[in-house]
Structure 1
């Protein structure tokens, strides 16, 4: 039996996070089609492949994450990954690996060959998938990533020489061609007009004949961009996000970045058009050689439309009061999430109290509502307890408040319908169940409750006919 692997190696800034999220979320659907998205080298991003293949004397956080903090620890790390691979890479399914760190971390022939030798123990055929993006766009996206990673770069487009492997795709591809053979390399261009449906996920599925996008669980796009103000905020605060009270600096930074992505999504700072074009021009010769090998007749390799850049570079600076405003909004958002967590704790405490003393459970919920009057879940819990205590009108009032606080929650609408039915209001019950089904059409509980309410209404109508 031929054992096959598809190794998606990036490059960085070509939608790999979205692709990894999709593949991880669809392990079951992939397995049904004969594919395996392994876990031994990473549940989402297969960073363990780069950690395994990197030279032992190169310090890197990826190796540390797998137990290779020191050169002396690397052999044990590799042996451990090998054992885990032996346990998982069984059967005849085609394995799909995906990690952009193969692009950014594996920088020598020995490292790429080390990865080849490792995978060749488990697969007879290994095909390499790679997406290439125009270099100035990669550098622009990398600026935002570096800010999110805790750095404070002094310029948007870095000073990269023409032979730098990260941007010189001719040199980069040559490493993989020498190790795996040119015939094993599949190169795609990361340009929306050239991707299937403008999506790297759709394009990957189509390119490798894996299936239609509609056959899989959908996932949101990842790695959203943040606004100019949010970037400026990170540049200012990163030097101060060090470990505090035993909490790692990376953890603190992750909280801040998540808040910024949620609240300050938008286009980041842009360099001047001429600066972006000059950066791109450094790699023109390398791009021409790639085009000759993989896209004969295509000249130039990438679209050379630079109109998305302004004539004059965007300012990286933001007014101090705006920086303060961002900090205040992050703190307020954190306080809201803390309140929500404390409210959930109260709900659990009430559930425990209910077993021995229902009235005490009611007291816990009502006391919590004095502290968190906007928390919809508390009203939902109050309504359930009141219904159990045979107080339908009060339960309806609590359920209606829960729905008013969280109108998009289909379960709250469903419970409101149950409470109204218990109170003898079948018209209102049917209306609530319909609202639940508008939000979640597949919810069988609401379907059954709606049918029951409509049946009761029909019976009443016949009686009065």
Structure 2
């Protein structure tokens, strides 16, 4: 039995892919692929993180996991649950498909990756890892938007970048070489498939087409009957991000060490703030970020894409070289405040 474990990265349409797989579980089953239930009420197989990470995630406590010993017991339960689903398929499947971006965002170092390798190798004869890499300037901009949307911080974008570049834990998946070395060591370089999350690099210029090109080993079936999930993870506009940054002291995610009930009540309104104009980096911001990763990205290119011209992520041609981050008019501030309250 073969397993393909898609590990993200975050902000590379992982939620869209997971929702589409779950909504088309019957279609996949008809082509020999099982997208299993993994003991969580979510199509993201985050339970793999709970079972294999070398620490206790705050979300794992919702499943009664308070210690590493209990995490290993949960892993045994999860393994049995997965085996049961494979057995119930009665030989109709040849591949299990797993997906969780938390395996790159949160698994936290080589021991967690090795724990996952051990978990999978006990069940499957063949293990394949799939990961999508996003250029670091886009990834940081996207994650900054997530921080503002969720109320995790009130930093300016430049301060956010400074902290992220100096801290491999804050946004770990921008450190492509570091993460890939962990996975190569535990699974072997030949078992790790790396794709570039860029429309021009994707098969058919489409993430779903590219994803199934990997899953079906370059020979995907007719996808005309496939129901695509809505891609509803669109980021907020640049003025909306600045509004949330300035409002952070009053509606932060945490309050006195606990989730802020006020933020929770307002989250639905926050989600419907405008999405245009899109946030945009300046040429200087983009070049600064990409220069930080130039040598590491060159390692990725020579290791996984030796026939691809350097650099791994070419400079962007921008019609407007300026940024629109950190800008909001009084009128926009009043409009967003009314939207939150009415």
Distance 1:163 1:233 in 2: 26
Check whether the contact 1:67–1:77 (CA below 8 A) recurs between aligned residues. Answer: no
How many residues align structurally? Answer: 325
Change (3 A) 1:17 1:250: farther
Deviation at 1:261, TM superposition (A): 4.0
Going from structure 1 to structure 2, the CA distance change for 1:6 and 1:131 (only over 3 Å counts) comes to: same
How far off is 1:72 after superposition? 5.9
Aligned-pair CA distance for 1:62: 3.4
Report the alpha carbon displacement of residue 18 of structure 1 after superposing the two structures with TM. 1.0
d(CA) in 2 for partners of 1:186, 1:276: 27
Quote the residue 2:84 is aligned against.
87
User: 1:149, CA displacement in angstroms?
Assistant: 2.4
Aligned counterpart, 1:31: 29
User: How far apart are 1:178 and its partner, in Å?
Assistant: 0.9
Could you tell me which runs of 5 or more consecutive residues in structure 1 were left unpaired when the two chains were aligned: 333-465
Which residue number in structure 1 is paired with residue 275 of structure 2?
265
Structure 2 residue aligned with 1:109 = 110
Cα gap change, 1:208 to 1:51, in 2 (>3 Å): same
CA contact (8 A) 2:301 2:312 kept: no
Aligned to 2:155: 154
Tell whether the 8 Å contact from 2:253 to 2:263 is kept in structure 1 after alignment: no
Shift of 1:199: 2.0
1:128 aligned partner:
129
- Give the structure 1 partner of residue 58 of structure 2: 61
Change (3 A) 1:95 1:208: same
**CA deviation after TM superposition for structure 1 residue 283, in Å:** 0.8
**Partner SS state of residue 120, structure 2:** helix
Quote the residue 2:178 is aligned against.
Answer: 171
Identify if the C-alpha distance between structure 1 residues 148 and 242 changes in structure 2 by more than 3 Å, giving closer, same or farther: closer
**Structure 2: gaps (5+ residues):** none
Question: Residue by residue, what CA displacement relative to the aligned partner does 1:372-399 show, whole Å, maximum 9, x if unpaired?
Answer: xxxxxxxxxxxxxxxxxxxxxxxxxxxx
Once residues 30 and 36 of structure 2 are traced to their aligned partners in structure 1, the CA distance between those partners, rounded to angstroms, is: 14
Q: Is the counterpart of residue 188 in structure 1 residue 189 in structure 2? A: no
Greater relative contact order structure (CA < 8 Å, 6+ sep) = 2
The 5 A counterparts of 1:171-250 are: 171-209=178-216, 210-241=220-251, 249=259
> In structure 2, how many angstroms separate the alpha carbons of the residues matched to 1:88 and 1:318?
52
- 8 A contact 1:271–1:309 mirrored in 2: no
What is the TM-score when the length of structure 1 is the normalising length? 0.64
From 285, 300, 316, the equivalent of 1:306 is: 316
**In 2: Cα distance, 1:28 partner to 1:74 partner:** 31
Name the one with the larger helix percent: 1
- Displacement after TM superposition at 1:8 (Å): 0.5
Taking a change above 3 Å as real, the CA distance of residues 70 and 318 of structure 1, as seen in their structure-2 partners, is: farther
Secondary structure, counterpart of 1:172 in structure 2: helix
C-alpha separation in 2, matches of 1:330 and 1:187: 41
Residue 326 of structure 1 is matched in structure 2 by 336
How far residue 185 of structure 1 moved from its aligned partner, in angstroms, is: 1.0
Cα 1:29/1:155, change in 2 over 3 Å:
same
Tell me, yes or no, if the aligned pair for 2:50 and 2:56 is still in contact at 8 Å. Answer: no
> Bigger shift: 182-191 or 62-71?
62-71
Query: What is the aligned partner in structure 1 of residue 14 from structure 2?
Result: 16
TM (normalized to structure 2)?
A: 0.85
